[in-house]
Amino acid sequence: MNNFNLPDHAVVYVMDAYCGWCWGFSQRMREFEAANRQRVAFTAISGGLFIGERAAPLACYPHIPQANERIANMTGAVFGEGYRTRLLEGKMVMDSQGAAEGLAVLRAHAPERAIHMAHALQAAFYGQGLSLSDPATITGIARANGLDETAILRDLTEGAATAQAVADFALARRLGVNSYPTLLYVNAGRTYQLPATGTALNVLNQHLDALLT
């Protein structure tokens, strides 16, 4: 597994796979990338929302159902039956370390599809209610996307993924990010923030146009 290096000229999506507001932005993020991937690189890094003491069962966050309702109303995001079942049970632990390891490995094997892989992770959780700390979830995403499941599983278990997840968290801090989703344009060491959740595609495109010209 190769170490991840932030491109010098790229749109950087700083997200957390267990972040509901990121799920609300996920489809718009995919549309934004599809509209602009031919003229600028896109990548995704994990910010680390639920780590340390915050890595806890869903039941420890009683505000989530109300937040989900706001997210759905604002963005049209759909929370699947599998996820709603897990939310009612309240037992599944949201551990952003495991989710970030999954993104790191999938991104390493398909760097040009980093935005898609971030969406796939969120769809596994918010759609199907799958744990992102379960290697079977990550290898399932790999299989669905034509990646080498054996290599993905090896990278998940040999330690490189853990180190890269921690590096992603540190990179997010260096970029000044402490909330998610945050969308950045990075060019030769300079960082510019773009709007995120609730922003129309044409507005995102206009902001990027201004930065690229």
Of 168, 177, 142, whose CA–CA distance to 44 is shortest?
A: 168
Write the pLDDT tens digit of every residue in 61-106. Answer: 999 999 999 999 999 999 999 999 999 999 999 999 999 999 999 9
Domain spanning 9-212, CATH architecture: 3-Layer(aba) Sandwich (3.40)
What percent of the chain clears pLDDT 90, i.e. is strictly above it? 94
Task: Judge whether residue 49 has pLDDT over 90.
Answer: yes
Report the b/e string of 55-65 with b at 16+ CB within 10 A: beebeebeebe
Per-residue pLDDT, 213: 87
Mean pLDDT of the chain: 96
Write the pLDDT tens digit of every residue in 125-174. Answer: 999 999 999 999 999 999 999 999 999 999 999 888 999 999 999 999 99
97 three-class SS: helix
State the Cα–Cα distance between residues 7 and 109, nearest whole angstrom: 16
The pTM of this model reads 0.96
Of 15, 3, 17, 4, whose CA–CA distance to 133 is shortest?
A: 17
